[in-house]
Amino acid sequence: MPLVKTWQLIAASAVAGLVLSAATVSVTGPWDSGQRKAERDRAASWSRMGGVDHGYGRLPEAAPSAPGVLSGLPAALQAEKQAGNPLGEQAGRQPGTGTGAGEGTGSEALAEALRPLLADPALGSLRSASVIDTATGRVLYEAKPRDPMTPASTVKIATATAVLAALGPEHRFRTTVTPGAAPGQIILVGGGDPSLTARKKPPAGSGGSLVALAADTAQALKAAGTDSVSLGYDDSLYSGPARHPIGLNPNVAPLSALTADEGRLNDSLSGPADRSEDPSGDTARAFADLLADRGIKVTGAPAKARAAADAEPLATTLSTPLGGLVERMLTNSDNDIAEALARQSALASGQPGSFEGAGKAVAAKLASLGIDTTGARFADGSGLDRGDKVSAGLLTALLAKAADPQRPELRPVLTGLPVAGFNGTLRGRNSGGSPAAGLVRAKTGTLSGVNALAGTVVDPSGRLLAFAFLAANTPGPEGAEKALDKLAAAVAGTR
């Protein structure tokens, strides 16, 4: 794929507006069979083959990282005066210097644009901000950037970074069927695949298929002369409480390593929905029905069992590659995927697959990447827990790390971010004539009284900037979201 120069990107977006802006953004990430992966779910719904499940057809070719094309900007700026600055703002500072001085152009203009917007009462009584140049690491603007705050769903950026660093974007999770210890017994073994589906027509973007697994299992059993089995199921990969600390909630199912369709009790693919209270058992019962449809009688009700560690699988189904799961999680703010990936980080790090193990593993993995996690706490992987604490500076550091050409395995953190006015949780925000439409890519965060936005944008001078804005004690989500969108638009439009 030929490299596209910065001036071409700017010219294209200026001439063609939103449509070509969205296309311009697409060149910043890896490609998968001719489609940029962050938008592939939408494109797949238009294609004959779905275009998403890597289990059918060839694997995607590795995408080369874009080389740095912009050097550091040389003009020096004076420090932003701190006197009379209640937000603790600084502009144009090199990280870690604490002086407020640094190299660059546009920092003073950015500070002038952001300061009044950050003071909007709609952002509540606690606000923090960080804007950095991802190529140089220079701080262009900050206000209390190291104060730990409740991040809501922007913590998914940390979850994504940790699991990609631990396992790599091509890793897949396995759901298997193995022989059981008792004669005529088989065991359905959960591998923590959050993309597992029992639908006979898999949705675009699905991964592991319980239907395909049942077909392969039936074929293997018949080849061995077996047409009647008892069915056990093993969901022991995870440990600790299955219920999220927020309790029964339509935003997340009980956490199980063996769950089909996120435990949804309707045909929805994302968003709130009534959930199964026994996702493991329901998945096993669905599998028994699928076996019966294929001529294998299942005697008795499925029951919990433990598969032997060295058992040779009769059949296996694989998840969507991890990079695709990360993108789906970020684009749709999928809490079930987030909690599963946090546990996979724990297991990959030798920690228990629990809330506590996941929190320790995520913090340790981020620290190993050189991220300052001082004051951070990862109480869950999704951001539903108000016990999560991260800073705006931590979020921009993670985004800059994902943009590092030396870290191509982290690129799905960027390509999965929703695009303003185009898809995911930003489909209806900064849309239409907004200068941020099609240009801002960002993860949203929303809890009662908490609102956040963190992502990236290419500014008018061609720099890829990372930004994070966190707000607490907000009076209402609508006003806070509009205020955050104005901040993002200002980053996008200020030279």
Q: Which residues are catalytic?
A: 153, 156, 333
Cβ atoms of 345 and 361 within 8 Å: the answer is: yes
Number of residues that this document lists for the chain: 495
Burial of 23 (0-12, 13-18, 19+ CB in 10 A): middle
Cβ atoms of 265 and 275 within 8 Å: the answer is: yes
* Locus of tokens 């952002």: 123
Task: Retrieve residue 310's tokens.
Answer: 């060295």
Q: What is the DSSP letter of 297?
A: E
Task: Retrieve residue 278's tokens.
Answer: 């026994």
Q: Which residue in 226, 232, 233 sits closest to 297, CA to CA? A: 226
Q: What is the DSSP letter of 121?
A: G
Q: Phi first, then psi: what are they for 210, rounded to 5°?
A: -65, -30
SS3 content of the chain, % helix, strand, coil (to 5): 35, 20, 50
* Locus of tokens 């959960």: 190
Q: Phi first, then psi: what are they for 142, rounded to 5°?
A: -155, 150
For residue 476, the one-letter residue type is G
For residue 138, the one-letter residue type is R
Q: Is 86 left (phi over 0), alpha (psi -120 to 50) or beta?
A: alpha
**What is the spatial distance between Cα 286 and Cα 214, in angstroms, rounded to a whole number?**
10
Cβ atoms of 331 and 417 within 8 Å: the answer is: yes
- CB neighbour list of residue 5: distance below 8 Å, 6 or more residues apart: 69
Cβ atoms of 155 and 468 within 8 Å: the answer is: no
**What is the spatial distance between Cα 155 and Cα 379, in angstroms, rounded to a whole number?**
10
**What is the spatial distance between Cα 292 and Cα 282, in angstroms, rounded to a whole number?**
15
- CB neighbour list of residue 449: distance below 8 Å, 6 or more residues apart: 124, 472, 473, 474
Cβ atoms of 130 and 142 within 8 Å: the answer is: yes
In this structure, the number of other CB atoms found within 10 A of the CB of residue 495 comes to: 10
